[in-house]
């Protein structure tokens, strides 16, 4: 299992070792020891989510108030998604920047997004299944969004599906109504780098 930090600090791509034989494939998609070795603190698992999406479905950009925030460890056991992390930490040198990892049922990578980061993905195939390990449970009052098509963020979303057919973004009503990054900052919804750093330091000293 290999960890590679993305261009947005606090987000990591995880590539597992796959063991195949005539029966199929086996792999470890999460291992606490390797996680803590790479990040310096454990993943406090409080909730596990699963979503199934049609090709073109676009979910995000989602984030939670920090502290406590909501860290996510995400993989795609069936289908394919482009998974995106956005730096929404006010005061961060990479504020407003994004990076991505292709999660699919071939390489079977995962992505980890630490507290205080925005998360979104687009499904590239019908019935694409995404599984998330989350550090906190769902709490509607402290969860927010940024419009995933915000031109200021400028995410380069795919325009073709896995089979080569054209993709049309399909958003929920909630995500369609989400503010832009600038609007979210003006509304005081975004975490600061200081808040996130202080929270991460508390995790490392537990």
Tokens of 163: 């089979």
- 112 as an active site residue: the answer is no
- Report yes or no: 121 and 83 within 8 Å, Cβ to Cβ: yes
Tokens of 123: 């499904």
Question: Which of these is catalytic: 73, 119, 132, 144?
Answer: 132
- 132 as an active site residue: the answer is yes
Question: Which of these is catalytic: 62, 119, 144, 147?
Answer: 62
Q: Is 157 helix (H, G, I), strand (E, B) or coil?
A: coil
Cross-sheet strand order for the sheet of 72-78: 2-5, 11-15, 110-113, 72-78, 128-134, 47-53
Integer CA distances (angstroms), 55 to 75, 76, 130, 135, 169, in order? 17, 14, 13, 28, 9
- Report yes or no: 146 and 153 within 8 Å, Cβ to Cβ: yes
The catalytic site residues sit at 62, 132
């Amino acid at each position: 299992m290999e960890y590679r930090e993305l261009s947005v600090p606090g987000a990591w791509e995880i590539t597992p070792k796959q063991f195949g034989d005539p029966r199929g494939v086996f792999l470890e998609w999460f291992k606490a020891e390797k996680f803590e070795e790479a990040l310096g603190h454990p993943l406090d698992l409080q909730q596990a989510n699963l979503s199934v999406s049609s090709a073109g479905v676009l979910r995000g950009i989602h984030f939670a108030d920090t502290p406590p925030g909501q860290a996510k460890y995400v993989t795609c056991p069936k289908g394919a998604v482009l998974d995106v992390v956005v730096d929404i930490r006010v005061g961060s040198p990479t504020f407003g920047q994004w990076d991505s990892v292709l999660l699919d049922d071939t390489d079977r990578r995962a992505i980890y997004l630490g507290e205080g980061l925005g998360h979104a993905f687009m499904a590239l195939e019908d019935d694409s299944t995404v599984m998330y390990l989350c550090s906190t449970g769902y709490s509607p009052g402290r969860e927010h969004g940024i419009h995933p098509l915000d031109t200021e963020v400028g995410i380069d979303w795919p325009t073709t599906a896995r089979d080569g057919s054209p993709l049309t973004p399909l958003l929920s009503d909630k995500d369609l109504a989400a503010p832009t990054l600038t609007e979210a900052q003006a509304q005081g919804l975004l975490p600061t780098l200081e808040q996130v750093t202080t929270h991460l330091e508390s995790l490392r000293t537990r």
